[in-house]
Structure 1
């Protein structure tokens, strides 16, 4: 493999890491409160509001059921409005984030629902406000599961970022299509697959380690 190809691989790896990192941050920033709202507004919970719960749930389900490649094309006008272009790594971050936010929301919702409701009732009996219950009971208790869920999200985003390369999103997926597939370079295809596998293994290992450290049980 030539030095030029090695440079292209390094640049593509950085583009993928940048896309996934920014998208994961945005998804966590909006997905965590979304998951909290989905749980706490459910029937019998500390902020019960079934109208809000059902509307948010429907929006989340609609977004999650849309295939990523279709979502990416469908929101091209929104992507252009936000970043000024529909091509490149910055443009790919918009659909990646929109796809990941409801995914994180459902993961956080699932993690919070695993918290023993008796702990919540005990906090209520001691006079804790809903905000205190969320910040000091629900999230700390569910943190290891949330970390594992975010790890799964990041790994999914790596796969989505490779698909983003199909419409000029940049990154390893774009490199694999332009140089590996279209120019019949099996070595480029193999190199991108190996790098993606290594990325996934590293992220999964880090996520598992952090979840174990946060687990008080």
Structure 2
């Protein structure tokens, strides 16, 4: 049996399982992070001085919270919130145990990206709609989010790519994934072929995500 056949039969199923684990962690954590981060970003922009729901205290509290969480490296956050993770999902290991810190890591970043995207919307356009008596929630949905779509898409693309990178460290809590595979087989067992394949898959994944994000952003920029 050739080395290629041995690799295909012995390692390909493990690599496939690791890809699935990575996709599970990224997709679930991204979906929940978006559900948390987008409203938080909208609240940040609305409570800023001079905006519809101006509230300096609320804005400062949210702003400090987002900055604090974003400043903590994921590898530290992963272990720092282990008790919280166990309280939420009943375990601090495996894919379930990794998803909670991934969400805590990604949601504030998405909120900040959202805020930065919305703040770029032309204030003159917003004021024009306000002067016509359009309600704030309609301005948010039909004007601000619509105008900021390309920037939001590019921001979410960055968030997804960051999540892919974060899953590489999630193997430290037994979550598996490509990062864990590269560490266990590529580093500890010196199986460089597994390392090369893992790196190639990660590069391919990131390139595909960035290309999709760029094309979607360009499409909505033309609309």
Question: Stretches of 4+ moved more than 6 A in 1?
Answer: none
Q: Which runs of 5+ in 2 are unaligned?
A: 1-6
1:110 aligned onto 2:108: no
Structure-2 separation of matches of 1:47 and 1:129: 12
Contact 1:47 1:130 in 2 (8 A): no
Q: Does the CA-based 8 Å contact 2:98-2:175 persist in structure 1?
A: yes
What aligned pairs does 1:12-91 form with structure 2 within 5 A after superposition?
12-91=18-97
Q: 1:46 is paired with a residue of what secondary structure?
A: coil
| TM-score, length-scaled by structure 1 | 0.97
SS of 2:148 mapped into structure 1: helix
Give CA deviations for 1:189-217 in whole Å, capped at 9, x if unaligned.
Answer: 11110000000011111111111111146
1:190 corresponds to which of 193, 196, 220: 196
Q: Quote the Cα distance in structure 2 between the aligned partners of 1:195 and 1:37.
A: 37
Q: Take 2:27 and 2:9, find their aligned partners in 1: how far apart are those partners?
A: 27
Contact 2:98-2:173 at 8 Å conserved across structures: no
Q: Give unmatched runs, 5+ long, in structure 1.
A: none
**Cα drift, residue 132 of structure 1:** 1.3
Distance (Å, rounded) in 2 between the aligned partners of 1:151 and 1:71: 22
1:156-203 CA-to-partner distances (Å, cap 9, x unmatched) read 000000011133221011111111111111111111100000000111
C-alpha RMSD of the superposition: 1.0
User: 1:71: Cα distance to partner?
Assistant: 0.4
Is 1:119 aligned to 2:125, yes or no? Answer: yes
Matched, 1:151 2:160: no
SS of the equivalent of 2:78 reads: helix
After TM superposition, give the deviation of residue 4 of structure 1 in Å.
Answer: 2.4
1:167 and 1:85 mapped to 2: Cα distance? 10
Query: How many aligned positions are there?
Result: 217
Q: In structure 2, what is the Cα distance between the partners aligned to 1:167 and 1:183? A: 19
Find 2:170's aligned residue among 147, 164, 167.
164
- 2:14 is matched with 8
TM-score (norm 2): 0.95
> What secondary structure, in the 3-state scheme, does the structure 2 residue paired with 1:215 have?
helix
Question: What's the secondary structure of 2:91's corresponding residue?
Answer: coil
Q: Distance in 2 between matches of 1:85 and 1:191?
A: 31
